[in-house]
Copies of this chain bind each other. A is one copy, B any other.
């Protein structure tokens, strides 16, 4: 989920504290507990009391989290002992805490939370949006207030960065997605179009907000949407990123790409991956991302448990992961400009642009380049590659709600046969 309007002007309202609602959740309860404070009368200022109370509660949570963090002993996260043995194989485990996650921004100066070698295996936990504050029971008013509480940044919580020894700018980071297991709860919502007219494909036609929560039955790999409608779970990370591209072009729409601190918003996809929302990126697939920073700096978040191509109302079946197990491999032998994916059956090329027509062109150019330059199974001219993209390249609308829209084209491996 994704696009944020410019709402900084609203973020300062109603700073007085009010008790935060106590909710059950796998993580983040400590932060919420710390935010509890004596009840106080809220200034009205013409706003409905309920809205003010909600905003105040959210701000209290934010402030509380900060105080809580300060109160902790300062430890270098990268130096914690997080290696375990799993059937004789070394696993790094990276829990999602307020120290190992960030809300809505990728900062190349963020100290690494884990340092690994190329080929190491990492099991990563992720949070729900807004530092785990979006949980079953969160109201639309709270969703709106949370969206306004982090202006310009994405709603996503991202775990990382992970520093990979030996990775240098210009290399390619191969990231094998070995396993994904979701936590038990999910949500889908759209924000009120009357207040967020550019957030969601048809926002002006849906003036009111909508939210629903789901129980994710991982034994059946299903969630009931409502009686009579059941959704198969197909988890994939909405965001998986290397450190931001220093040459990322300036925004053509939406809030600024970078803030004053030099952090890059998680709202958009770009060459470093980030908010790609590519639903093919499931267990068993491999992602290739260009490296722009020493150590590559890998993050993941915006965990999804099912999403259609388009993600039209703004959100997928948003969830969090008990674990996503990845194996990052530094590739010195491969140079790519845009993200690529390999599945058991397809190679996938991508394009991102504010204009879907332009995103389509970028994706198809990447497909032509892949077929005529990168793959070595059968030599192909550029004309042949263009022709093959037309006959078998399957181009889909990745998403239209992340400001920079996405198109991905799937090239079937099955067309390549042994010469007889």
Contacts and interface: CB of A to CB of B under 8 A. Distances in A.
Interface in A387-402: 387-397, 400
Given A188-B390, A308-B390, A383-B208, A407 B397 contact: yes
A313 B409 CA distance: 14
How many interface residues does chain A have, given as a range? 35 or more
A417 B228 contact: yes
Contact of A231 (B190, B201, B226, B391): B391
A308 B390 CA distance: 6
A231 B390 contact: no
A384 B210 CA distance: 8
B389 A308 contact: yes
Contact of A308 (B229, B395, B407): B395
Contact of A389 (B189, B225, B312, B378): B312
A378 B395 CA distance: 31
Contact of A391 (B208, B226, B307, B361): B307
Contacts of A395: 308-310, 312, 396-397
Given A228-B416, A307-B390, A378-B226, A383 B312 contact: no
A383 B311 CA distance: 14
Interface stretch (A9-17, A334-342, A352-360): A352-360
A52 interface: no
Contacts of A227: 378, 419
Interface stretch (A39-47, A293-301, A314-322): A314-322
Contact of A393 (B205, B308, B378, B391): B308
A317 B312 CA distance: 31
Nearest to A222: B417
Interface in A244-297: none
A370 to B, nearest CB: 14
Contacts of A308: 389-395, 409
A386 B315 CA distance: 10
A306 B391 contact: yes
A210 B189 CA distance: 48
Q: Is the interface of A mostly helix, strand, loop or mixed?
A: mixed
A415 B310 contact: no
B416 A382 contact: no
A230 interface: yes
A222 to B, nearest CB: 9
A71 interface: no
Contacts of A387: 188-190, 210, 212, 313
Contact of A309 (B205, B212, B232, B396): B396
Given A360-B201, A383-B208, A228 B390 contact: no
29 contacts: A188-B387, A201-B361, A205-B365, A208-B383, A210-B383, A210-B387, A212-B384, A225-B384, A225-B391, A228-B377, A228-B416, A228-B417, A229-B416, A307-B390, A308-B390, A308-B395, A308-B409, A309-B394, A310-B389, A310-B409, A311-B390, A312-B395, A313-B389, A313-B390, A355-B357, A357-B357, A360-B397, A360-B400, A394-B396
Interface of A: 188-190, 200-202, 205-206, 208, 210, 212, 225-232, 306-317, 355-357, 360-361, 364-365, 368, 377-378, 382-384, 386-397, 400, 405, 407, 409, 414-419
